[in-house]
Amino acid sequence: MSHGSGGRAMAQLITELFHRYLDNALLAQGNDQALFSPPPGRLVMSTDGHVISPLFFPGGNIGSLAVHGTLNDVAMAGARPLYLAAAFILEEGFPLADLARIVESMADTANQCGVPVVTGDTKVVERGKGDGVFITTTGVGVVPEGIHISGDLAQPGDAVLVSGQIGDHGVAILSKRENLGFETEILSDSAALHELVADMVAAVPEIHCLRDPTRGGVATTLNELAHQSGVGMQIREEAIPVRPEVMAACELLGLDPLYVANEGKLIAICPGDSAERLLAVMRAHPKGKDAAIIGEVVEDGLNFIQMETRFGGSRVVDWLAGEQLPRIC
Amino acid sequence: MNAELIRVRGLVQGVGFRPTVWRLARTHALVGEVLNDGEGVLIHAQPAAGNDASALDDFCRALRAECPPLARIDAIERSVLEAPLTTDTFVIRASSASQVHTGIVPDAATCAACAAEIRDPSNRRYRYPFTNCTHCGPRLSIVKGIPYDRARTSMAVFPMCPSCGAEYADPADRRFHAQPNACAVCGPSVWLVDSQGARRDPAALEASDPIAAASQLLAAGRILAIKGIGGFHLACDATNAASVAELRRRKRRFGKPFALMARDLDVIRAYCTLDAEEAGLLQRPAAPILLLDVSPKTQATPLAPDIAPGQRALGFMLPYSPLHHLLLQAWDRPLVMTSGNLSEEPQCIDNADAADRLGTLADATLLHDREIVNRVDDSVIRRMAGAPRLLRRARGYAPAPIRLPPGFEQNPPILALGGELKNTFCLLSDGQAMLSQHLGDLEDARTARELEVTLDLYLELFQHRPEWIAVDLHPDYRSTLIGRERAAHDDLPLLSIQHHHAHLASTLADNGWAMDAGPVLGIILDGLGFGPDGTLWGGELLLGDYLDCERVGHLKPVPMPGGTKAILEPWRNLFAQLEAADGWATMRDRHPTLESLQRLGDRPLDVLRKMMARGVNAPLTSSAGRLFDAVAAALGVGGDPITYEGQAAIELEALAAQAMDPGLEGYRLKATRQASGMVLDPASLWEQLFADLEQGVSKARIAARFHSGLSQALGDLAIALAEARAVQRVALSGGVFQNRILLESVQRQLSAAGLETLLQRQVPSNDGGLSLGQACIAAARASRASE
Ligand SMILES: [Fe+3]
Ligand SMILES: [Mg+2]
Ligand SMILES: [Zn+2]
Ligand SMILES: [Zn+2]
């Protein structure tokens, strides 16, 4: 693949790829924009730039991830996603076959999710000025009547739930990228959660917060929510689901799974007396079958995420500045 | 007549100083008055009519000689008054709240007079467990605000009976203005509950009172929670192996030594060697835990084997409250008195909390209804290099101000927030540093909350309004976050201070090093501290003063595969060290029969190798602590994983102590000059160590050769650097210098080379002393900024 005129040829090729795989009426119009009438209700919109190494990993690739990531961000408002847009930045020389795999996977993913990619763009940058491929996706969705979900709505007495085992994505990426060679291959949990969310808000419209614990993991997401809402949380280490193989990898790597990224999990906060109902709904959905109530929201001027450890201790799960650096002397 | 204004500075408030002045004024026939004010104690005095002017000189001499036990006179300044006084009496004048600002004094162990009263059946305080007077009793542990009077302590809910009130009001009485003064009629009381929280009647145990009942339960092998001065203890008979093992199991504390309490010095002497200085330390009002060497031969009932596994020292303290005296009255053997908590947590201070957290740990609890407002742990002292050195500064020491050397009088008030473990914070103003009591591990949520509360209390007690805030360079220490938040909230300048520079500055301040006295060399041996280059430091030679420092030497940085995990699992450090030396595979091939290398071979080394090669959670560190871990792992000493912080190094030292002798040849380490300074490379020690192991040399001797070689190499390097940089003084600090062998060996070598050494004494060389260094660095920088 080359820059300049070749780049143009390249972009042409990609457009063809898109049209082949992402085939839908809006895209087929061939305009620089997609034209549609919004359904009734409030619209939400979200955008996310996807940069990942390696591009192909156990359980997904950058294409499927770019669809899941943005759909999930839209869904975390309690919304039903309608449309996606995608912009590609390709590095000159990026293998065409790889690109085709990515676009195909993206298309498959979008199709499975029932959310079409209705507009897109591609640019090619000089060799050395990109890292293979970057994909930015934007999503639009509509929020059902009576749903008010926001990070600043957690209240003391609310329950904190997680939709399944944590840490899979981060460990999968790390072990693949660094070729760490664990005995059992760990798959990324990359998945779209909007159908799970649709069931959840239909059954429990009083949900206060939803957020997907991506970069920085569950620990970072809980801290964000606690600060936004001006509350604290009390969680129980024992209640937090982690796959044994992920736990074993984390122990060997010295990582705390609470800080490891997820791409197919969500944190939900709802009134305490709705928690069991919400849990049942989540568990009834395949993407929430291992959901758990992991703690509750408490009043706390210091906005601590406080975790009762397996041995009955109580530690602060802090918001870290960067990597997990040793703190003990 | 010659009237004088006499100003007394120091720790002179809340310690019975005014009544002493009053009594001595009468003895020396003076008239006038005494009062507390914002600077200490102020006396107006003149000889009564017909008396000699020399009475004032005699009075001042007597004041120094008869200074109350808890007071400390820093200065007596006298000036002549123009007009004579027109009174013919000497009175104590009440101080108004706004005039007093000198904070609060530490909790003090029961004085001899009070101890005698509780043993005297004819005394009205016979067996009363809350007996105290102006010279003893709780202070910091019960205070809620200033000025320090009964209404602002947890004694406020106990109105004094007429007898106690009369003592309190009488300047001639030992209990004049003793805020926690009480007796059985009016004061707090003690009771016993079982593990379900139900009251137990002492009579059912055929005991005269709850304390006697508790003593009997202990004698029967039970584990008791006991509410004391600054928190709860868990206690059991230290000679009962089953009880001690059960206590370890319940508390989940598996290796870390237990502190002991003994009725008197004779009981301690039955187990440990004790000289006059050590006896004196134990008997001080601070009543610390003192680490004492175990007697080689003893006739006494043997202690349980796992009181202090892998140690050759025991931590002993004497009873420091009347309750302890009464509890231990019948005991000719020691009690374990360990903090009342699960391992890693702060000890309980609250009755409800104790029921919650200690209910499952103790068979019964001895409770009382005097609220503990502030948790104050037992202080710990170890005598090293010829002086007692604080390893944990808490009860009996905090919050007494530390006087700072010249240069620190003028800077703006400073708050320094300390480290992450063994946290203390420090307020610095008016040439003094007020260090909080040891608070502990801030990853623990209770401790982190306590820090905020205690900090607010200290700010009020010392009327401190910080203008600068200092924190560690580590971005994720909870103390750093708190400092950052407070600085942002109050719009104050925030200084991030490198960990080992703070250790160095702490040592300077501890030794009275003036602000502008110039640089010294520092050998800082530590666990870990965040370095400005993004690596983790911990085996550093620094050249610096309060303002700045330069890294002139360090141990060779080696990865820590697994980050925090490598601190908990010493084998990771051994592997990293071997890879950095001749390589693990080479070492294994050279010594195929060595058990420790075989054991290492069973670990998942491939993953670790990749982590180190790719920099996956394998930060580089020059930590001395990690080197000790690696050596301990090579010898199979100290637990893998460790069960308490510093275990590997502590057990390695105890082992080395068995084989240290002056003629011993140490393992050689090589220093080379590199861009980052002189680099001391431990690589060469491994081949020497494994050769010894292979030849069947004892582990004790190997540990000793390691200590000897490391201190020799550090000493040589320091001597060369001191000469090159023309400095005469070397400061030794950092947590690893709690190792007596290392400290004394390095110090001896430096002294022999004519260098003066500066060692920590008033504050710990571990992270408990960090906040003092941070505060002094901030003060120096603030002073420079204002020039
Ligand atoms: Fe340190
Ligand atoms: Mg996003
Ligand atoms: Zn007394
Ligand atoms: Zn009374």
SS3 B494: strand
Tokens 């430091």 identify what position?
B537
Residue B182 confidence (pLDDT) above 70? yes
3-state helix, strand, coil split of chain B in percent (to 5) is 35, 20, 45
**Beta strand A267-270 with A305-308: parallel, antiparallel or unpaired?**
unpaired
The domain boundary residue, chosen from A118, A143, A168: A143
Secondary structure letter of residue B177 according to DSSP: T
Rounded Cα–Cα distance for residues A62 and B662 (Å): 65
pLDDT confidence tier of residue A312, bands split at 50, 70 and 90:
confident
Sheet with A314-316, side-by-side order of all strands = A209-211, A267-270, A159-162, A292-298, A232-236, A305-308, A314-316
To the nearest whole percent, how much of chain A has pLDDT over 70? 97
Q: To 10 degrees, what angle do helices A4-21 and A96-113 make? A: 30
Q: How far is A98 from chain B (nearest CA, A)?
A: 25
DSSP letter for each residue of A125-144: E-TTSSSSEEEEEEEEEEEP
**B136 shares contact with chain A (CB less than 8 Å):** no
Write out chain A residues lying below 8 Å of B356, CB-based: none
Shared domain for A96 and A234, answered yes or no, is no
- Do A298 and A188 have their domain in common? yes
Beta bridge partners of B192: B366
pLDDT tens digits, residue range B286-332? 999 999 999 987 788 999 999 999 899 999 999 999 999 999 999 99
Q: String of b and e for B624-655 (b: at least 16 CB within 10 Å)?
A: bbbbbbbbbbbbebbbbebbebbbbbbbbbbb
Residue extent(s) of CATH 3.30.70.100 domains in chain B: 4-99
Same domain, A311 and A166: yes
Q: Is residue A325 part of a domain?
A: no
Number of domains in chain A: 2
Contact A253 B566 (CB under 8 A): no
Cβ-based neighbours of B675, under 8 Å, separated by 6 or more:
none
Closest CA in chain B for residue A179? B610
- The second-level CATH assignment, the architecture, of B396-511+768-785 is 2-Layer Sandwich (3.30)
**What is the average pLDDT across B371-376?**
96
How far out from the chain centre does Cα B7 lie? Answer: 32
Q: Say if the Cβ atoms of B611 and A327 lie within 8 Å.
A: no
Predicted confidence (pLDDT) per residue in B430-451, tens digit: 999 999 999 999 999 999 999 9
The answer on A208 and A121 residing in a single domain is: no
Average pLDDT over residues A177-185: 87
Is the pLDDT higher at B96 or at B766? B766
**B20-62 pLDDT, tens digit each:** 999 999 999 999 999 988 788 999 999 998 888 899 999 999 9
Q: How far is the CA of B121 from the centre of ligand 4 (A)?
A: 17
Q: What is the CATH number of the domain that holds A65?
A: 3.30.1330.10
Q: Which of A101, A119, A143 is the last residue of a domain?
A: A143
Contact: B442, A174; criterion CB under 8 Å: no
Instruction: For an interface test with A, give the residue of B339, B343, B353, B443 to mutate (most A CBs within 10 A).
Output: B443
- At B360, is the pLDDT very low, low, confident or very high (cuts 50, 70, 90)? confident
The residue of B616, B629, B642, B643 whose CB has the most chain A CBs within 10 angstroms, and thus the best one to mutate to test that interface, is B616
My answer on whether A134 and A184 are in the same domain is: no
pLDDT score at A6: 52
Q: Does domain B4-99 have CATH number 3.40.50.620?
A: no
Instruction: Give me the phi and psi of B448, to 5 degrees please.
Output: -60, -40
Would you state the pLDDT for residue A183?
A: 79
Best of B249, B253, B345 to disrupt the A interface (most A CBs within 10 Å) is B345
Are B345 and A313 an interchain contact pair (Cβ–Cβ within 8 Å)?
A: yes
Do A237 and A266 reside in the same domain of the chain? yes
In this structure, the number of other CB atoms found within 10 A of the CB of residue A274 comes to: 18
CATH of B190-368, one of 3.30.1240.10, 3.30.565.10, 3.40.1010.10, 3.90.870.40: 3.90.870.40
Query: Is residue A13 located within the same domain as residue A43?
Result: yes
Nearest to A312 by CA among A237, A258, A249, A248: A237
* B478/A318 CB distance under 8 A: yes
**A174 at B interface, C-beta within 8 A:** yes
Is the per-residue pLDDT at B585 higher than 60?
A: yes
Task: Return residue ranges of chain B for CATH 3.90.870.40.
Answer: 190-368
Domain assignment of residue A149, yes or no: no
Cross-chain Cβ contact B345/A304 below 8 Å = no
pLDDT of residue A3: 46
Domain B536-544+551-760 class in CATH: alpha beta
Stretch A302-326: mean pLDDT: 90
Kindly report, as residue ranges, where domains of CATH 3.30.420.40 are found in chain B: 536-544+551-760
Task: For chains A and B, count residue pairs whose Cβ atoms are closer than 8 Å.
Answer: 120
Residues with Cβ within 8 Å of B6's Cβ and at least 6 positions away in sequence, in order, are B42, B43, B44, B45, B56, B60, B76, B77, B78
Contact residues on chain B for A311, CB-CB shorter than 8 A: 252, 342-344
CATH at residue A221 = 3.90.650.10
Those of residues 450-469 in B touching chain A at CB distance below 8 A are 452
Position A208 in a domain: yes
Q: Are B403 and B448 in contact (CB under 8 A)?
A: no
Considering the domain boundaries, does residue A75 fall inside one? yes
Q: What residues of B are annotated to the active site?
A: 18, 36
Contact B420/A at CB under 8 A: yes
pLDDT at residue B513, as a whole number: 98
Cα–Cα dist B136/B134, whole Å? 6
pLDDT above 70 (res B101): no
Say what percent of chain B tops pLDDT 70.
Answer: 99
- Whether residue A150 is contained in a domain is answered as no
Cβ contacts (< 8 Å) between B448 and chain A: which residues?
A: 302, 304, 316
Average pLDDT over residues A96-122: 93
Q: Which ligand is nearest to the CA of A71?
A: 2
Range of the domain at A105: 4-143
Percent of chain B with pLDDT over 90: 87
Residues of chain B with CATH 3.30.420.360: 396-511+768-785
How big is the CA angle at A290 (ends A317 and A285), to the nearest 5 degrees? 125
Whole-number Cα distances in Å, B70 to B154, B174, B408: 21, 13, 25
Q: What is the per-residue pLDDT for B365? A: 97
Whether A26 is in a domain gets the answer: yes
Give the mean pLDDT of B239-259.
95
- At residue B106, the pLDDT reads 95
Note whether ipTM > 0.90 here.
yes
CB–CB contact A180 B445 (8 Å): no
DSSP helix/strand/coil, B157: coil
Q: What helix, strand, coil percent values describe chain A, rounded to 5?
A: 35, 25, 40
Q: Hey, is B359 helix, strand or coil?
A: coil
Q: Does one domain contain both A138 and A180?
A: no
From chain A residues 54-73, the ones with a CB under 8 A of any chain B CB are none
pLDDT at B1 over 80: no
Q: pLDDT digits over B61-90, tens only?
A: 999 999 998 898 989 999 999 989 999 999
State pLDDT tens for residues A213-260: 999 999 999 999 999 999 999 999 999 999 999 999 999 999 999 999
Q: Are A180 and B442 in contact (CB < 8 Å)?
A: no
Of B345, B530, B563, the CB nearest to A324: B563
Cα A34 to middle of ligand 1, angstroms:
60
Contact indicator for A54, A153 with CB cutoff of 8 Å: no
Query: If DSSP codes are grouped into helix, strand and coil, which group holds residue A176?
Result: helix
Q: Closest by alpha carbon to B627, among B698, B714, B551, B691?
A: B714
Q: Is the pLDDT of residue A4 over 60?
A: no
Residue A172 within a domain: yes
Residue A77 and residue A180 in one domain: no
**B444–A316 C-beta distance less than 8 A:** yes
Q: What is the pLDDT of residues A12-64, one digit of tens each?
A: 777 788 788 888 888 888 788 899 998 999 999 999 999 999 999 999 999 99
Tens digit of pLDDT for each residue in B765-774?
999 999 999 9
**Whole-angstrom distance, CA of residue B55 vs CA of residue B57:** 5
Residue A174 backbone phi and psi in degrees, to 5: -65, -45
A148 belongs to a structural domain: no
Q: Is the pLDDT of residue A1 over 50?
A: no
Contact with chain A for residue B645, Cβ under 8 A: yes
The residue whose two tokens read 């530690």 is A315
In this structure, the answer to whether residues A37 and A168 fall within a common structural domain is: no
Q: What is the DSSP letter of B301?
A: P
Say whether A311 sits in a helix, a strand or coil. Answer: coil
pLDDT confidence of residue B349: 87
Q: Within this chain, do residues A231 and A163 fall inside the same structural domain, yes or no?
A: yes
**pLDDT tens for each residue of B520-533:** 999 999 999 999 99
Structure tokens at B691: 């050769």
